[in-house]
Amino acid sequence: MKKQKIIVPIIAIITISNLGGFALTGGSVSADTIKSSQHLAVEKQKDFKNFDQYISVSNNQFVFRAPNDKIISKKEQIDIDKVLARSNKFVIDNHMIINPTTKVATQVNNLNQSNSYGTTGIFEVHWNYLKIGLDQGAVKDVVTGGTAGASAAVAFLVGGPWAAAGAAIVSTILANHYEPTSGYWFDYNFWTFQVTDAGQQ
Protein backbone atom coordinates (compact mmCIF):
# COMPACT_ATOMS: atom_id res chain seq x y z
CA MET A 1 0.00 0.00 0.00
CA LYS A 2 1.46 3.31 -1.08
CA LYS A 3 1.18 6.30 1.19
CA GLN A 4 -0.30 9.55 -0.09
CA LYS A 5 0.82 12.96 1.10
CA ILE A 6 -2.44 14.49 2.21
CA ILE A 7 -3.59 18.06 2.53
CA VAL A 8 -5.93 18.86 5.37
CA PRO A 9 -9.33 19.20 3.66
CA ILE A 10 -10.54 22.77 3.14
CA ILE A 11 -14.03 21.71 2.16
CA ALA A 12 -16.64 22.64 4.72
CA ILE A 13 -19.11 19.85 5.50
CA ILE A 14 -22.40 21.51 6.28
CA THR A 15 -24.82 18.65 6.81
CA ILE A 16 -24.96 14.87 6.70
CA SER A 17 -28.44 13.42 6.60
CA ASN A 18 -29.36 10.02 7.96
CA LEU A 19 -29.60 8.87 4.37
CA GLY A 20 -26.00 9.78 3.72
CA GLY A 21 -26.49 13.04 1.82
CA PHE A 22 -23.70 15.60 1.95
CA ALA A 23 -23.83 19.33 1.44
CA LEU A 24 -20.30 20.43 0.54
CA THR A 25 -19.02 23.91 -0.07
CA GLY A 26 -15.54 24.82 -1.23
CA GLY A 27 -13.83 27.38 0.97
CA SER A 28 -11.43 30.12 -0.02
CA VAL A 29 -8.45 29.49 2.23
CA SER A 30 -5.03 31.12 2.14
CA ALA A 31 -1.80 29.11 1.98
CA ASP A 32 -0.91 30.27 5.49
CA THR A 33 -4.19 28.88 6.81
CA ILE A 34 -3.58 25.52 5.14
CA LYS A 35 -0.05 25.28 6.57
CA SER A 36 -1.36 26.15 10.01
CA SER A 37 -4.07 23.47 9.76
CA GLN A 38 -1.57 20.84 8.64
CA HIS A 39 0.79 21.64 11.48
CA LEU A 40 -2.03 21.53 14.01
CA ALA A 41 -3.20 18.13 12.80
CA VAL A 42 0.33 16.69 12.96
CA GLU A 43 0.90 18.02 16.46
CA LYS A 44 -2.40 16.60 17.66
CA GLN A 45 -1.57 13.21 16.23
CA LYS A 46 1.82 13.21 17.97
CA ASP A 47 0.14 13.93 21.29
CA PHE A 48 -2.33 11.09 20.87
CA LYS A 49 0.36 8.61 19.91
CA ASN A 50 1.99 9.32 23.26
CA PHE A 51 -0.93 7.48 24.84
CA ASP A 52 -0.46 4.32 22.72
CA GLN A 53 1.94 2.84 25.26
CA TYR A 54 -0.76 2.97 27.94
CA ILE A 55 -3.32 1.02 25.89
CA SER A 56 -3.76 -2.67 26.61
CA VAL A 57 -6.35 -5.33 25.80
CA SER A 58 -8.48 -6.95 28.48
CA ASN A 59 -11.53 -9.15 27.87
CA ASN A 60 -11.39 -8.19 24.20
CA GLN A 61 -11.67 -4.48 24.95
CA PHE A 62 -9.21 -1.61 24.66
CA VAL A 63 -8.20 -0.38 28.12
CA PHE A 64 -6.26 2.73 29.12
CA ARG A 65 -3.91 2.31 32.09
CA ALA A 66 -1.41 5.06 32.82
CA PRO A 67 1.26 4.72 35.52
CA ASN A 68 0.73 6.64 38.75
CA ASP A 69 3.48 9.12 37.90
CA LYS A 70 1.90 10.02 34.54
CA ILE A 71 -0.13 13.20 34.84
CA ILE A 72 -3.33 13.05 32.81
CA SER A 73 -5.53 16.11 32.74
CA LYS A 74 -9.24 15.77 33.42
CA LYS A 75 -10.04 16.78 29.83
CA GLU A 76 -7.58 14.23 28.42
CA GLN A 77 -9.13 11.50 30.55
CA ILE A 78 -12.63 12.44 29.40
CA ASP A 79 -11.51 12.45 25.76
CA ILE A 80 -9.75 9.10 26.11
CA ASP A 81 -12.84 7.55 27.71
CA LYS A 82 -15.02 8.81 24.84
CA VAL A 83 -12.66 7.42 22.21
CA LEU A 84 -12.43 4.03 23.93
CA ALA A 85 -16.21 3.87 24.23
CA ARG A 86 -16.51 4.34 20.43
CA SER A 87 -13.85 1.82 19.47
CA ASN A 88 -14.96 -0.80 22.00
CA LYS A 89 -18.59 -0.50 20.95
CA PHE A 90 -17.59 -1.09 17.33
CA VAL A 91 -15.63 -4.20 18.33
CA ILE A 92 -18.61 -5.57 20.29
CA ASP A 93 -21.24 -4.72 17.69
CA ASN A 94 -19.26 -6.41 14.90
CA HIS A 95 -18.13 -9.46 16.90
CA MET A 96 -14.47 -8.68 16.35
CA ILE A 97 -11.41 -10.02 18.13
CA ILE A 98 -8.64 -7.65 19.20
CA ASN A 99 -5.15 -9.08 18.86
CA PRO A 100 -3.65 -8.47 22.32
CA THR A 101 -0.12 -8.23 20.88
CA THR A 102 -0.75 -5.80 18.02
CA LYS A 103 -3.74 -4.19 19.78
CA VAL A 104 -5.58 -4.16 16.45
CA ALA A 105 -8.94 -5.69 15.54
CA THR A 106 -9.25 -6.74 11.92
CA GLN A 107 -12.59 -6.47 10.22
CA VAL A 108 -14.86 -9.42 9.60
CA ASN A 109 -15.02 -10.39 5.92
CA ASN A 110 -18.72 -9.76 5.36
CA LEU A 111 -18.25 -6.04 5.96
CA ASN A 112 -15.57 -5.75 3.26
CA GLN A 113 -16.39 -5.80 -0.43
CA SER A 114 -13.35 -6.83 -2.50
CA ASN A 115 -12.79 -6.82 -6.24
CA SER A 116 -9.90 -6.49 -8.66
CA TYR A 117 -9.95 -2.71 -8.18
CA GLY A 118 -9.47 -2.73 -4.42
CA THR A 119 -11.56 -3.21 -1.30
CA THR A 120 -14.31 -1.11 0.23
CA GLY A 121 -14.83 -1.55 3.94
CA ILE A 122 -13.28 -1.11 7.34
CA PHE A 123 -9.93 -2.93 7.43
CA GLU A 124 -8.75 -2.37 10.99
CA VAL A 125 -9.93 -0.93 14.28
CA HIS A 126 -7.30 0.62 16.55
CA TRP A 127 -8.04 2.17 19.92
CA ASN A 128 -8.28 5.66 18.41
CA TYR A 129 -8.72 5.25 14.67
CA LEU A 130 -10.22 3.17 11.88
CA LYS A 131 -8.43 2.10 8.70
CA ILE A 132 -11.05 2.38 5.96
CA GLY A 133 -10.82 1.41 2.31
CA LEU A 134 -12.59 2.57 -0.84
CA ASP A 135 -12.13 0.66 -4.08
CA GLN A 136 -11.46 2.40 -7.38
CA GLY A 137 -15.14 2.55 -8.30
CA ALA A 138 -16.08 4.18 -5.00
CA VAL A 139 -13.30 6.77 -5.40
CA LYS A 140 -14.56 7.50 -8.92
CA ASP A 141 -18.09 7.95 -7.55
CA VAL A 142 -16.78 10.56 -5.11
CA VAL A 143 -14.74 12.40 -7.76
CA THR A 144 -17.29 12.38 -10.58
CA GLY A 145 -20.64 11.56 -9.02
CA GLY A 146 -21.40 14.75 -7.13
CA THR A 147 -23.40 14.57 -3.92
CA ALA A 148 -25.24 11.38 -4.88
CA GLY A 149 -22.03 9.61 -5.88
CA ALA A 150 -20.23 10.64 -2.70
CA SER A 151 -23.16 9.51 -0.56
CA ALA A 152 -23.30 6.11 -2.26
CA ALA A 153 -19.53 5.57 -1.98
CA VAL A 154 -19.49 5.93 1.80
CA ALA A 155 -22.99 4.60 2.51
CA PHE A 156 -21.56 1.72 4.56
CA LEU A 157 -20.30 4.30 7.08
CA VAL A 158 -23.59 6.15 7.53
CA GLY A 159 -25.04 5.89 11.00
CA GLY A 160 -23.75 7.00 14.36
CA PRO A 161 -20.23 8.46 14.60
CA TRP A 162 -19.11 6.74 11.39
CA ALA A 163 -21.05 9.17 9.19
CA ALA A 164 -18.45 11.77 10.15
CA ALA A 165 -15.76 9.38 8.89
CA GLY A 166 -17.49 9.22 5.52
CA ALA A 167 -17.65 12.98 5.31
CA ALA A 168 -13.96 13.32 6.25
CA ILE A 169 -12.95 10.81 3.57
CA VAL A 170 -14.99 12.55 0.87
CA SER A 171 -13.44 15.88 1.85
CA THR A 172 -9.93 14.39 1.76
CA ILE A 173 -10.42 12.91 -1.72
CA LEU A 174 -11.77 16.17 -3.14
CA ALA A 175 -9.30 18.47 -1.37
CA ASN A 176 -6.32 16.40 -2.53
CA HIS A 177 -7.64 15.80 -6.07
CA TYR A 178 -7.18 12.04 -5.85
CA GLU A 179 -7.33 10.34 -9.24
CA PRO A 180 -9.71 7.36 -9.44
CA THR A 181 -6.97 5.12 -10.84
CA SER A 182 -6.91 2.78 -7.86
CA GLY A 183 -8.47 2.09 -4.51
CA TYR A 184 -7.33 4.08 -1.46
CA TRP A 185 -7.12 3.52 2.28
CA PHE A 186 -7.70 6.18 4.92
CA ASP A 187 -6.89 6.38 8.62
CA TYR A 188 -9.78 8.16 10.30
CA ASN A 189 -8.96 9.32 13.82
CA PHE A 190 -12.06 9.56 15.97
CA TRP A 191 -10.32 11.76 18.48
CA THR A 192 -9.48 14.51 15.97
CA PHE A 193 -12.34 13.55 13.60
CA GLN A 194 -9.85 13.87 10.73
CA VAL A 195 -8.19 11.68 8.13
CA THR A 196 -4.61 11.56 9.42
CA ASP A 197 -3.05 9.27 6.80
CA ALA A 198 -3.96 7.82 3.40
CA GLY A 199 -2.52 5.80 0.57
CA GLN A 200 -3.19 3.66 -2.47
CA GLN A 201 -4.30 0.07 -2.01
Q: In this predicted model, what pLDDT tens digit does every residue of 92-118 receive, in sequence order? A: 988 889 999 999 998 654 556 667 688
**pTM, two decimal places:** 0.74
> What pLDDT shows up at residue 23?
34
> What pLDDT shows up at residue 159?
62
pLDDT at 17 over 50: no
Let me know: does 142 contact 175? Beta carbons within 8 Å.
Answer: no
Q: How many CB atoms lie within 10 A of CB 142?
A: 26
SS3 at position 161: coil
Give dist(CA 17, CA 4) in Å, integer: 29
SS3 at position 111: helix
